[in-house]
Structure 1
Amino acid sequence: MKILITGASGNVGRYVVKELLNKGEGVVVAGTNVEKLKKIFGDKVDVVKFDFVDKETFHKALKDVDRVFLMRPPQLGKPEDLYPFIDSMKSHNIKLVSFLSLMGVEKNTIPPHHKIEKYIEKVQVPYAHIRPGFFMQNLSGIHSVEIKEKNEILIPAGKSKTSFIDTADIGLSVATLLHEPEKYKNTAHTITGPESLDYYQIAEILSEITGKKIMYRKPSFLKYRSDYIKKRGLDKNYVNVTVALYFMTRMGTAKMVTDEFYQLTGRKPRTFREFASENIDCFV
């Protein structure tokens, strides 16, 4: 039987696929853009048309599959959007779903991930929730625009600290869970990087690595939301979710450091300095 990967073209999904193939697993990647997936993965995996809002695509995606990596698409803001597919996993007797959740979400009811976790548990699909800290790739991706163009970090996190983790490390963690479904059945894992940093420290590290003077401006929620919706043109629902997450970050929810990545994989997680050095082109 094979493992279905949703969000395979994203930051985490690509690494999940890579690590599962390294473990000798058969992989099916699913998405709305089949040609894009074929271009990324070639003949190393099976590719299937899949859409969370089209129930007609569920059965084919789950055929000959017994494990699933589930990732909520950013454009689906309501947790209920994923419930029909979760129901379909139940009817197809999936023996493990690893859902990409959030650190601290078991106590934080605001993000949609909380209700999705609870629904998976309610319908009794065997699960192994993965609850990572904030992605290092958020800084090299969506937040890199201001870093490259203005030498600024525009994130409304105040003075709070965050235990950033590389998505490559998340991918390895997920692959480890899915590779041993019986061992990790009905578990949850909070994985983080090796240290907790505030954005002033992030700015210092990036300044040292790039040779530019990068500043953390500590914007208000209103300025951040306005800039990202009106100036950057990003989806309002997506930006609203990030505002909620940064609000919780200010409450201290993102600073915890755990050793669960090491416990799962036997490896030490990558530091932000290592990540920034290897991805310097994203910041200059």
Structure 2
Amino acid sequence: MTVAIAGASGQLGRLVVEELLRAGRTPVAIVRDPQKVADLAERGVDVRQAAYGDAAALDRALAGVDRLLLISGNEFGERVAQHTNVIRAAERAGVQLLAYTSIPGATENPLILAQEHRGTEAVLAESTVPYTLLRNSWYWENYLGGLAHAVESGVLHGAAGQGRVAGASRADYAAAAARVLTTDGHEGRVYELGGDERLTYAELAQAISEAAGKPVRYENLAEADYAAVLEQAGLPAVYAKALADADTGIAAGVLDVDSGDLQKLLGRPSTPAVEVFRAALS
């Protein structure tokens, strides 16, 4: 059985490749720039070049592939079309299972970030390729960009109110994806994936404080004010708006996943936030 990872040079993709290698599998790594994964090629990984927008390259890259992980792209506004290219190539290649990294409750999720996931899921629903939805909640690593500032200033900013986010480490989600790719019984399944910890931002601030050994408190802002803070920190306006909108969604509970699906796939609890923050600060 040939397993491929589309988007293998990204942070999640690399972790899935590592999980497969540890399990004794030698996967296919589909990437735009093979130079970024030259180290994986040296370790025996079959590196194939294809961008999500290049149908001919995708046909070559998916030749002989039985199971495929489609990691969602990061080009806002282009993702549904790009993902559709991969799905159509998977159909032509006769891929037996396509797993797609989506977002919790994608069909009803009001977040800006959910729109293209919802569109992709609709394409999959009408496709001929068997599929599994991996609806990943937040990565604790999503907070690392502002971690140093929070520690230095003693303040974690956000717009999540008292809402809870069921986060886990990126490695947890990678391990779950690898499990789906290498075991049977996942066709047609929708996995709502969230961690054991369902933390408010005040509790996230406590976790950062514990990891850093310095007091950090949470300061809640209005969505627009938080977007402005993110822009001032150097984030492009479109991303700042999407992240501030995500915090408003967290306040409404859209990322408070309690299905237990992640834990069942992992066969263990998820990684605590403080461990991720401590590793980043060290």
**Separation of aligned partners in 2, 1:229 and 1:28:** 38
Q: Which residue of 2 is the match for residue 121 of structure 1? A: 125
Per-residue deviation at 1:240? 3.6
Per-residue deviation at 1:33? 1.9
Percent identity between matched residues is 23
Q: Which residue of 1 is the match for residue 58 of structure 2? A: 58
**Separation of aligned partners in 1, 2:110 and 2:127:** 19
Query: What letter is aligned with 2:208?
Result: L
1:244 and 1:119, CA in 2 relative to 1: closer, same or farther beyond 3 A? farther
Q: Which residue of 2 is the match for residue 228 of structure 1? A: 230
**Separation of aligned partners in 2, 1:136 and 1:245:** 14
**Separation of aligned partners in 2, 1:183 and 1:123:** 19
Per-residue deviation at 1:41? 5.7
Q: Which residue of 1 is the match for residue 173 of structure 2? A: 170
The yes-or-no answer on 1:18 pairing with 2:18 is: yes
CA deviation profile, 1:69-122 (whole Å, cap 9, x unmatched): 111222243423321221111111111111111122232255111111121121
CA deviation profile, 1:194-249 (whole Å, cap 9, x unmatched): 12111111111211221222232223222332333454143x44334333322321
**Separation of aligned partners in 1, 2:234 and 2:134:** 30
Q: Which residue of 1 is the match for residue 106 of structure 2? A: 105
Q: Which residue of 2 is the match for residue 71 of structure 1? A: 71
Aligned residues, how many?
Answer: 278
**Separation of aligned partners in 2, 1:272 and 1:258:** 19
Q: Which residue of 2 is the match for residue 160 of structure 1? A: 163
Contact 2:158/2:244 (<8 A) preserved = no
1:74 and 1:222, CA in 2 relative to 1: closer, same or farther beyond 3 A? same
**Separation of aligned partners in 1, 2:129 and 2:155:** 44
Q: Which residue of 2 is the match for residue 48 of structure 1? A: 48
Structure 2 gaps, min length 5: none
The yes-or-no answer on 1:212 pairing with 2:214 is: yes
Which is further off, 92-101 or 41-50?
A: 41-50
**Separation of aligned partners in 2, 1:54 and 1:67:** 20
Per-residue deviation at 1:30? 1.8
Query: What letter is aligned with 2:161?
Result: G
**Separation of aligned partners in 1, 2:212 and 2:152:** 13
Q: What do you get for the CA RMSD once the two structures are aligned?
A: 2.1
Which is further off, 241-250 or 67-76?
A: 241-250
Contact 1:75/1:237 (<8 A) preserved = no
Contact 2:151/2:209 (<8 A) preserved = no
* 3-state SS of paired residue (2:98): strand
The yes-or-no answer on 1:88 pairing with 2:89 is: yes
1:170 and 1:114, CA in 2 relative to 1: closer, same or farther beyond 3 A? same
* 3-state SS of paired residue (2:69): strand
Per-residue deviation at 1:40? 5.4
Query: What letter is aligned with 1:14?
Result: R
* 3-state SS of paired residue (1:216): strand
Contact 1:163/1:254 (<8 A) preserved = yes
